[in-house]
Amino acid sequence: MAKAKRYLNFIGGKWVEPSTGKYAENRNPADTGDLIGEFPASAAGDVAQAVKSAEQAFARWRLVPAPRRGELLLKVGDILVRRKEEIAQLMTREMGKIIKETRGDVQEGIDTAYYTSGEGRRLFGQTLPAELPNKFAMSIRQPVGVCGMITPWNFPMAIPTWKLFPAILCGNTCVIKPATLTPASVALLMEVFEEASIPAGVVNMVCGSGSAVGNALVNHPAINRISFTGSVEVGRKLAERCGANMKRLSLELGGKNAQIVMEDADLELAVEGALWGAFGTTGQRCTATSRLIVHQQVHDEVLAMLAERANKLKIGNGLDESVEMGPAVSEEQRQTVLEYIRIGKDEDKAKLVCGGKALTEGEYAKGYFLQPTIFDQVKPGMRIAQEEIFGPVLSVITIKSLEEAIQVLNDTEFGLSSSIYTRDVNRAFQAIRDIEAGITYINGPTIGAEVQLPFGGVKNTGNGHREAGTVVYDFYTEWKSVYVDYSGRLQKAQIDTESVG
């Protein structure tokens, strides 16, 4: 048997062994016999080395004109296009989602590279009128320094690029800790940076656990920004720590997203959306459709259509082009989902319509597979209707009106993505106004994002910052106000009020 590839950290433009000398295996969740590689189990000392490299690179990188930084990101995008299939194949092996989705994941990175490259010529400031004569006023953006990124396993290419590309476009340097379950995709991204001739030290990668590497990133005094995507529990701890150190933090956390289906909806379209939203990526998206809020007049028809199609979904290894749903990312994640299914069965009178079991026989024996699962007769206060499951479990809730539907949708601690299916434009705009979420789809599923729009949510979904779009540049820059007084004399702002002319 061929020896598994041993990956290294990427620090200062070089591939570096971890100071611990320790490595952890990364295996395919669809076939645990497939060993993808061994990855560094790094320590705080490795983070310190990466931060030092980033600090040194910042002194030079911040002076590179932003349009030139954008041109280098354009080159990164071109390389991602060329290596798209290679990266997608590896990502499916390490994360499990089907090949069509991992190609989409890489495409998101490509789109982000191209979009961000153009922002190199649009890092707008403002010119404003000054209150005194012979005085000029403007505001400009400046880079913040070294940024730390902690990324999740469900989008191993898209989310790292959402964080890294805007940060380096603004003139910052970065240290990223990839998810322990999906470091290979980020390692390939480092290869892309290397091939694109991004200067050494601008981007650094340190692999390892959250307790060792993540904590070291958050606690390092030279890191000025932390961007984290993950659980609410961890996000709260990071907020406390960063707050104590006056360190700026961007959080993108959980979701309990709902799709509303009104009685006037195109039911065929609504069912397609619910199926894709609930079971795409095996439900392992922060924007996954976890609740289906259905008007009582169409409930039976929608449920029958949905259950029939869910039972027919082809489950298996995502490298098979015909497979429609892959495994859970790990046995731990599968057990979490199975526990929520048990909770759903025990709660009040929730009815298990389909699924509800792990798949462990035959072709599924070496992977972490689950059946697509649907519960009906779910009440809004049940745990399966309130808590993020992060798996292929859909709770169906029946309502009698649009107002009730919106009330039920809003009745969680989260507010990331939402959806409503209706043919009534007035209802659509009422939903846009009243739904408490960062994203609202009209006649589309809750999953999916475009890089030119801000991504994020309200309530416990985050802390107000957004990924993507143009607003992300407010997180990775500091505003500086500049006054140029060419009067040749001392003018006292807020004091000199004599009339002019």
Bridge partners of residue 38, in order along the sequence: 6, 25
Any residues with CB less than 8 A from the CB of 298 and at least 6 apart, and which? Answer: 261, 262, 263, 265, 267
Helix locations, 170-259, DSSP H: 183-195, 215-219, 232-244
User: What is the secondary structure of 414-457 as a DSSP string?
Assistant: EESEEEEE-S-HHHHHHHHHH--SSEEEESS-S----TTS-B--
End-to-end, the C-alpha distance of the chain in Å comes to 88
Catalytic positions, written as ranges: 252, 286
- Nearest CA to 438 among 469, 408, 402, 399? 469
DSSP structure class, residue 489: S
DSSP structure class, residue 5: P
Nearest-angstrom CA–CA distance, 112 and 80: 11
DSSP E strands in 13-81: the ranges are: 14-16, 23-28, 31-40
Contact 468, 439 (CB under 8 A): no
Nearest-angstrom CA–CA distance, 187 and 331: 24
Q: Phi and psi dihedrals of 13, rounded to 5?
A: 80, 10
